[in-house]
Amino acid sequence: MWKRWKQLELYWKIIIGMVIGIIWGLLAISFGWHEFNQDWIAPWGTIFLNMLRLIAIPLILVSLIKGMGSLTDISKLSRIGLKTIGFFMISTVVAITVGLIIVNVTKPGAAFPESTRAEMQEQYRADIEQRQAIAREVEETGPLQVLVEIVPSNIVDAASDNQNILQVIFFALLFGLAMALIGKEKVKTLHSAIDGLNEIVLKIVMLIMKFAPYGVIALMGTLVVEFAGDDVSETLNLFASLGFYILVTFVGFFIMIFVIYPLVLMALTPIRYKGFYKAISPAMMIAFSTSSSAAALPLKIEQCEKELGVSKTITGFVLPIGTTINMDGTSLYQAVAAVFIAQAFGFDLTIAQQMTIVVTATLASIGTPGVPGGGVVMLVIILTAVGLPAEGLAMVLALDRPLDMMRTVVNVTGNCAAASIIGNSENELSYPPVKTA
Ligand code: ASP
């Protein structure tokens, strides 16, 4: 049996892990094993997450430096940069438009009971204030602050905090660019050292992934236990009142995953539907169980290179940057949530206000960190921009986690699609990839 387990594809192992985790969580709720779960199961999930975070910075540094450093044509870098930003902008606007269309057609907020709304506002008052405070800080900064924050004043400092991924990317880009400008001959030794480091980092990712199915059991189990809280019937009630809104948002996510990305991939690359999802499904599942695009980054890089044949230059550039600034799922969600809140409060949004949502949601998704719940903080900014009460947040906060899990999957899928498309346009995609042992 162990032999068969070992031969299974990674995505099957993760799916099995998820199912066992959910069953474990349900058992823990029904038998009251909360404490046992907290003491003996949950820590394994945290250990798995920490390992993913641990490898993120070394992986970004090595991938980017290797990718950039081996460029022979520097103009290619600016071209890839422009294409990347252009693609990110377009896909974000498409995602927001999909969100706006479905929420305006289905109107999930229109029938929302007023009494439930008031109850929720009361219950989540403290949470809302906390997020408003964070959002205010973001809003108070000047327009160029975003750029200022990308440039680190100290690389050790920047690399010591996983939230500074953009700063690390900036340094790695600069370093790789300098290497490319100097030319391979003069820094030969460094090139081979980076190649060696790259092999080591990828091996570490592979080793961490061996632990993934077990980490996922702990993460999913704990999620189920925490989600049910102390009062399972209350959670079920919440589902009943927010069910339609959740369903509508999920429809939006599915349109992105099953219609938009595959169509664009089929039109612009040789990659086909099944091949794409088979290749990136482990990354999608890690995104689902951790609700963090940043945690899924190592796997995104590995799967896009190995299973889709995207070159290191592209994955090293597009994926780390995409993880921090390109969040199609988050922006779609923010658009649906904002209009849902407006509907529940009885506001009729004008076309101009909906356009404001498109612009602010695009910017907000750039500023959203790739961590659980990151998208909700930025939602405050959108609500303020269209003149909606931030108290409306209570309604979407109540059941954010399942939506967070799914929007993270969309974010990850969108970035892998972007890497494949940009890779193909630069002749940096060899699909199907030639597999080496
Ligand atoms: N959890 C999402 C991510 O990591 C961000 C969000 O909250 O929308 O991609």
Q: What is the pLDDT of residue 41?
A: 96
Q: Note whether residue 3 is domain-resident.
A: no
User: Which has the minimum average pLDDT: 182-186, 402-406, 423-427?
Assistant: 182-186
Is residue 394 assigned to a domain? yes
| Residue bearing the CA closest to ligand 1, atom 8 | 375
Cα dihedral across residues 289, 293, 296, 302: positive or negative: positive
Structure tokens at 180: 């490319």
Distance CA 9, CA 14 (A): 9
Q: Is 327 in the pocket of ligand 1 (CB under 6 A)?
A: yes
User: Which pLDDT score, from 0 to 100, does residue 21 have?
Assistant: 94
For ligand 1, say whether the CB of 407 is within 6 Å of any of its atoms.
yes
Q: Using only C-alpha atoms, what is the Rg of the chain?
A: 22
Is 183 a residue whose pLDDT tops 80? yes
Name the phi and psi angles at 93, rounded to 5: -65, -40
430 Cα to the center of ligand 1, angstroms? 30
Three-class DSSP labels, 185-201: CCCHHHHHHHHHHHHHH
pLDDT, residue 231, reads 67
Q: Are 100 and 353 within 8 A, CB to CB?
A: no
Q: Ligand 1 within 6 A of 322 CB?
A: no
pLDDT category at 437 given cuts 50, 70, 90 is low
Centre of ligand 1 from the C-alpha of residue 320, in Å: 14
Q: Give the number of the atom of ligand 1 that is nearest the alpha carbon of residue 408.
A: 9
Q: Looking at residue 58, which CATH number applies to its domain?
A: 1.10.3860.10
What per-residue confidence (pLDDT) applies to 73? Answer: 80
pLDDT beyond 90 at 129:
no
Instruction: Express each pLDDT in 223-232 by its tens digit.
Output: 888 877 666 7
From residue 341, give the alpha-carbon distance in Å to each of 108, 191, 385.
9, 53, 14
* 291 in contact with ligand 1, CB cutoff 6 A: yes
In 3D space, the residue among 223, 225, 222 whose CA is nearest the CA of residue 32 turns out to be: 225
Q: Which of 293, 396, 399, 406 to mutate to test the pocket of ligand 1 (most atoms within 8 A of CB)?
A: 293
Q: Is 282 in the pocket of ligand 1 (CB under 6 A)?
A: no
The mean pLDDT of the chain is 88
Cα torsion through 335, 341, 345, 346, rounded to 10: 40
pLDDT band per the 50, 70, 90 thresholds, residue 406: very high
Which protein residue has the closest C-alpha to ligand 1 atom 3? 370
Report the pLDDT value the prediction gives residue 69, as an integer from 0 to 100: 83
pLDDT confidence bin for 427, thresholds 50/70/90: very high
Q: Tell me the three-class secondary structure of 242-308, residue by residue.
A: HHHHHHHHHHHHHHHHHHHHHHHHHHHCCCCHHHHHHHHHHHHHHHHHHCCHHHHHHHHHHHHHHHH
Q: Which of 96-105, 230-239, 293-302, 362-371 has the lowest mean pLDDT?
A: 230-239
Beta carbon of 293 within 6 Å of any ligand 1 atom: yes
- Cα of 394 vs centre of ligand 1, distance in Å, is 18
State mean pLDDT over 355-379: 86
Asked whether the predicted pLDDT for residue 115 surpasses 80, the reply is: no
| Band of pLDDT at residue 75, cut at 50, 70 and 90 | confident
Q: Is residue 340 part of a domain?
A: yes
Q: How far apart are CA 134 and CA 112, in angstroms?
A: 28
**430 located within any domain:** no
For 3, the token pair is: 């032999």
Query: Is 436 part of any domain?
Result: no
Could you tell me the pLDDT band of residue 296, with boundaries at 50, 70 and 90? very high
- How high is the pLDDT of residue 161? 80
Distances (CA, A) of 373 to 15, 79, 334, 376, 377: 23, 33, 12, 6, 7
The lowest-confidence range among 38-52, 100-114, 130-144, 349-363 is 130-144
Our answer on whether the CB atom of 402 is closer than 6 Å to any ligand 1 atom is no
pTM of the model: 0.88
- pLDDT at position 273 is 87
The three-state secondary structure class of 221 is helix
Instruction: Please report the pLDDT score of residue 436 as a whole number.
Output: 60
Other C-beta atoms closer than 10 Å to the C-beta of 396 total 27
Domain membership of residue 435 (yes or no) is no
pLDDT of 393 higher than 90: no
Query: pLDDT value at position 136?
Result: 76
Q: Residue 342 in 3-state DSSP? A: helix
Residue 93 placed within a domain: yes
Which tens digits make up the pLDDT trace of 5-32?
Answer: 888 888 889 999 999 999 999 999 999 8
Buried b (16+ CB within 10 A) or exposed e, 99-133: bbebbeebebbeebeeebbeebbeebeeebeebbe
Indicate if ligand 1 lies below 6 Å from the C-beta of 375.
yes
Query: Beta partners for 429?
Result: 310
Residue pair 350/357 in contact by the 8 Å Cβ criterion: no
Which residues does 356 contact at the CB level (< 8 Å), separation at least 6?
385, 386
Rounded to whole angstroms, how far apart are CA atoms 12 and 281?
A: 9
pLDDT at 424 over 90: yes
Report how many domains make up the chain.
1
The SS3 assignment for 32 reads: coil
Domain that holds residue 61: 8-425
Residue 213, in any domain of the structure = yes
CA of 338 to the centre of ligand 1 (A): 16
Q: 326 in ligand 1 pocket by Cβ < 6 Å?
A: no
The pLDDT tens digits of the residues spanning 141-160 come to 777 777 888 899 999 998 88
Instruction: Decide if pLDDT at 241 tops 80.
Output: no
Say what percent of the chain tops pLDDT 70: 98
Quick one: pLDDT at residue 23? Answer: 94
